[in-house]
Structure 1
Amino acid sequence: MATAAKKKTLSSEEKLRALYSLQLIDSRIDKIRTVRGELPLEVEDLEDDIAGLETRYKKMQDEAEELNDEVSSKKNAITDSKALIKKYKEQQDNVRNNREFESLSKELEYQDLEIKLAEKRIKEFKAKMDGKKQILDETKSELDGRKKDLETKRKELDEIVGETQKEEEALLKKSEEARAKIDDRLVTAYERIRTGSKNGLAVVPIDREASAGSYIKIPPQRQLDVAARQKIIVDEHSGRILVDAELAIEENEKMEAMLAKILK
């Protein structure tokens, strides 16, 4: 059993019509995507920015929470030290000798130093928390701004996609159908020329004795050969496949009729 059905053998004119029809379809798809422009990439970039900002914001929130826990821990340490100071002072009132008194005095001095150190650390933590809060506020503001931008861009993109999605899907299907009818060798040549062209044109009609978009005139005999539709002719200057103006008009009319039917 054959892996794929054989393509119908086309005459030179049928090949030219199929190629130009494919060009019209692909050019229409290009136009739709040009209208859509950079919006999909802009939406993607904004989504990446927002994800990065949210990660950064969460990390700073965690760091601020850790600082807050450190402050609470130091405050508890101060409370404990004050309780010990009260206890040691009461014990000093009931000592039996100087050695006990001096030992308790050292403990009192140590707890006093612990309180001062804890208070210093609390100030340092609070200063860091103030800095974190400022950065958090700035990040939150930036994040909110990016989210608003994303909402606007998504709405804009959705509107454009909504207006063109049906047409684009139909055209993509027609493009695949058109390719399936054309010899693989011709499709490959078409794609190569199209890829190398700035405006994606691989098949063009003769316009004012030159290939469309070119100012270099095509010799009269060459024009007659193109009009005869007996073979595939490539413009030696632009490298594009040539079709005559009459064929182009006819295929354009077919394209417009097809689109009108699809979008009805």
Structure 2
Amino acid sequence: MAKKKEVTVEEKLRALYDLQLIDSRIDEIRNMRGELPLEVEDLEDEIAGYSKRIEKLEEDLVSVDENISAKTHFIKEAESMIKKYKEQQDNVRNNREFDALSKEVEFQELEIELAQKHIKEFKAQKEHKKVVLDETKERIEERKAHLDHKKSELDNILNETEKEEKALIEKTESFKKSIEERLVKAYDRIRKSVKNGLAVVTIERGASGGSFFTIPPQVQVEIAARRKVIIDEHSGRILVDQVLAEEETDKMNKMFKKLSA
């Protein structure tokens, strides 16, 4: 049985830096989208809200029309009753019957006045609701146009980057399998704890790319020797030397070009 080849510290560092470059590229792609997915979602929710408002206003207008129709019908019936009572007054036998019919006529006239007042109020409500409905329809058309624009922006970015992002995510999983589990866990933990997602950084002008604190010369020598994984005591990030970083960046950039082609 063939003995499994032992992975050197340098190979681990290169694999970790490659993983960082891939994840940083994924972050870059997602940052290109920015807030667009959330903006699209918010606009869709806003339009749904306007649609419900329009539906409610249209239902209210139907209800108002029904109320106006009911009151108009009521007035016609009241007018018919008044006519009937007045005809009966011509055939009464005494003043008591005449006064009773007069009170009925007076009552129906008051009912007509009240109904006319209600119709006036309903018509005012109708005009107000129609104005609000027109404004809401205008607003929803504006938001729909804005949504179409934002969706178009998002679709263009997705079309340009979706294939590459999917391929990069697969590469991330593949690279993680080639690195021992404890280092992957450490990498993931560091990456989640820092704002820019950089868990593996280089030495730049004698300082850590993560914290900008100066790295002692002896530690810089150890980093360049690539014999052990060294953590920056200030930022908690994994440190690699500039030469290794440049070599891996050049190699990974070639891969990124192929994936985005």
What's the TM-score, normalizing by structure 2?
A: 0.92
Structure 1 partner of 2:167:
170
| Residue pair 1:8, 1:181 contacting (<8 A) in 2 also | no
Mapped partners of 2:123, 2:142: distance in 1 = 28
Query: How many equivalent pairs are there?
Result: 258
Give the fraction of aligned pairs with identical amino acids, expressed as a percent: 59
**Secondary structure class of the residue paired with 1:205:** strand
Mapped partners of 1:167, 1:25: distance in 2 = 11
Pairing 1:69–2:66 present: yes
Pairing 1:110–2:97 present: no
Structure 1 partner of 2:29:
32
| Residue pair 2:198, 2:210 contacting (<8 A) in 1 also | no
Cα offsets for 1:77-105 (capped at 9, x unmatched): 01111111122222222233333322222
Counterpart amino acid of 1:202? Answer: A
Pairing 1:54–2:51 present: yes
Cα offsets for 1:150-177 (capped at 9, x unmatched): 1111111111111111111111111122
Cα offsets for 1:17-50 (capped at 9, x unmatched): 1111110011001111111111111111111111
| Residue pair 1:204, 1:241 contacting (<8 A) in 2 also | yes
**Secondary structure class of the residue paired with 1:204:** strand
Mapped partners of 2:212, 2:255: distance in 1 = 32
Mapped partners of 1:199, 1:27: distance in 2 = 9
1:213 shift after superposition = 5.1
Structure 1 partner of 2:142:
145
1:204 shift after superposition = 1.0
Mapped partners of 1:8, 1:132: distance in 2 = 79
Cα offsets for 1:51-78 (capped at 9, x unmatched): 1122122222222221221111101101
Matches within 5 A, 1:211-226: 211-212=208-209, 214-226=211-223
Counterpart amino acid of 1:49? Answer: E
**Secondary structure class of the residue paired with 1:206:** strand
Mapped partners of 1:220, 1:155: distance in 2 = 52
Gaps in structure 2 of 5+ consecutive residues: none
Mapped partners of 1:104, 1:221: distance in 2 = 117
1:214 shift after superposition = 4.5
Structure 2 partner of 1:130:
127
Structure 2 partner of 1:191:
188
Pairing 1:161–2:173 present: no
1:211 shift after superposition = 2.0
- Of 171-180 and 34-43, more deviation after overlay is shown by 171-180
Pairing 1:246–2:243 present: yes
Gaps in structure 1 of 5+ consecutive residues: 1-6
Structure 2 partner of 1:86:
83
Counterpart amino acid of 1:154? Answer: K
What's the TM-score, normalizing by structure 1?
A: 0.91
**Secondary structure class of the residue paired with 1:236:** coil
